[in-house]
Amino acid sequence: MIHFEWPWALAALPLPLIFRWLLPPWQTLTQAALKVPFLEDLSGGEARSTLQGQRWPVVWAGIAWLLLVSAAARPQWLGEAIEQGISGRDLMLVVDLSVSMEEQDFFINQRRVDRLTAVKWVAGQFIERRASDRLGLILFGTQAYLQAPLTFDRKTVHTLLDESAIGLAGDNTAIGDAIGLGVKRLKDQVRNSRVMILLTDGANTAGEVSPIKAAELAAEHHLKIYTIGIGADEMIVRSFFGARKVNPSVDLDEATMSAIAEKTGGRYFRARNTEELEQIYQLLDQLEPVEKDKKYFRPRTELFYWPLALALSLAALIALIRARLA
C-alpha cells in the first residue's frame, strides 16, 4: 500500500486557488495604439487558436503543482508486515572497584594481574556474547554509581568497563548500596527477564543499606541476583624471611554472598582463578532468554522521486512553450 510519511504537506494543495482568489488580477499596461477597423479579419482563426492553446500551460502547471506537493508529502510503498520477536534479558553488571581488587592473585596468559584486570578480561568476552540482551553497568566502592544504563550498545558498556579503575568509587565496599541502585534501575523492566550479576572480593564495609536488606528488596521485585566471590584461596608471598602462604580472600564474606543469591533465586559462584571465572560466565551464558513483546516491521520503499521528476519535467515543458510563444 502507498503511505504518505508527511501527509500534512497535502494542505498546501489549495494554495494557488487561494492566492488567485485573494490577490487582484494581473493588469497589463495599456498604451495608445492605432485602431485598425478590420483587426477581426486579420486575427481570424489563428489568433483564436493561439489564445485557446495558451490554456494548456495553466492545466499543466496545476498538474505539476499537484505532483510537487505529493512529492513533498513523501510517498512510500509499505510492504507486508514482518513479525520480529525480541528475546533476551536485562542484565545489570555490578562490579567492585574497592582497593582490595588490586590484589594480584590472578593470571592471564601466564602473566600475573590484579583482580579487576581479570574481571575486565573475562566479563568483556561475556558482554560481547550477550547480543540479544540489554546490558547495564554499576561500579561501586564506598559509593555506587550507574556507569551505563540498560542498552543494546554492548561496545559502549565494554568500553566503560575497560576504563574503570580501582578506587574510582572509593576504597571501601558498599555492596548493599550497589544492589539497591541495581534494583532501582531494573524494577520497572519486564518481570522474569531481569538479572543482576554482582562481583566482589570482600565484605560490606560502607553504605547505608545492608546487603541482606537490599536482597530482600530485590526479591520483592522478583529480581534475580547471581553473586560471584573473586579471589584466590592461597598465594605465595616472598619476603626477606622467605616464602609463606597467605589467604588473600580472607575478607570475602561468602555467607552473605550465598544469602543474597538464595533470597533472590540466584546462585553463588566462587572464582579462585581466571579459568573458574570464565566457567562461571559460561554458565551465566546459559540463562534462558525471555521473549518480550513482539514488534512488527514493514519494509519501506521511497517513491517521492517519481512525482518530483514529473513535476520538474512539466515545469520545463511549460517554460519552453512560453519561451516559444513570447
Q: State the CATH number of the domain containing residue 121.
A: 3.40.50.410
**What pLDDT does residue 152 have?**
87
Residue 159 sits in the same domain as residue 212: yes
Residue 272 sits in the same domain as residue 303: no
Partnered with residue 187 across adjacent β-strands are none
Which backbone phi and psi does 222 adopt, to 5 degrees? 55, 45
Residue 157 sits in the same domain as residue 287: yes
Residue 10 sits in the same domain as residue 159: no
Q: Is residue 36 part of a domain?
A: no
For residues 89 and 133, the answer to whether their CB atoms sit within 8 Å is yes
Mean pLDDT within 157-174: 92
Report angle CA 188, 96, 197 to the nearest 5 degrees.
40
Whole-angstrom Cα distance, residue 90 to residue 194? 5
Q: Is residue 129 part of a domain?
A: yes
Residue 76 sits in the same domain as residue 112: no
Q: What is the pTM of this model?
A: 0.62
Residue 96 sits in the same domain as residue 230: yes
**Per-chain mean pLDDT for the chain:** 82
Q: Is residue 33 part of a domain?
A: no
The pLDDT confidence band at residue 238, using thresholds 50, 70 and 90, is low
Q: Give the residue, 31 or 185, on which the prediction is more confident.
A: 185
Q: Is residue 23 part of a domain?
A: no
Query: Quick check: 26 pLDDT over 80?
Result: no
The pLDDT confidence band at residue 143, using thresholds 50, 70 and 90, is very high
For residues 95 and 161, the answer to whether their CB atoms sit within 8 Å is yes
Q: Is residue 28 part of a domain?
A: no
Considering its fold, how many domains does the chain have in total? 2
Query: Quick check: 38 pLDDT over 70?
Result: no
The listed range with the strongest mean pLDDT (10-19, 32-41, 116-125) is: 116-125
Q: Give the residue, 185 or 251, on which the prediction is more confident.
A: 185
Residue 247 sits in the same domain as residue 119: yes
Cell of 204: 560490606
Residue 163 sits in the same domain as residue 196: yes
The pLDDT > 70 percentage for the chain reads 80
Q: Is residue 108 part of a domain?
A: yes
Query: Quick check: 243 pLDDT over 90?
Result: no
Mean pLDDT within 156-170: 92
Q: Is the dihedral of CA 187, 188, 193, 198 positive or negative?
A: negative
Of the CA atoms within 13 Å of residue 189, those in its CB half-sphere come to 28
Q: Is residue 306 part of a domain?
A: yes
Residue 125 sits in the same domain as residue 209: yes
Segments forming the whole domain that contains residue 61: 2-18+41-80+298-325
**What pLDDT does residue 132 have?**
76
Residue 58 sits in the same domain as residue 96: no
Query: Quick check: 81 pLDDT over 50?
Result: yes
In sequence order, which residues have a C-beta less than 8 Å from that of residue 20 and are 6 or more positions away? none
Residue 195 sits in the same domain as residue 53: no
Residue 187 sits in the same domain as residue 218: yes
Q: Is residue 32 part of a domain?
A: no
Query: How far apart, in Å, are the Cα atoms of 260 and each of 95, 198, 219, 267?
Result: 15, 10, 9, 9
Burial class (CB in 10 A: 0-12, 13-18, 19+), 62: middle
**What pLDDT does residue 320 have?**
81
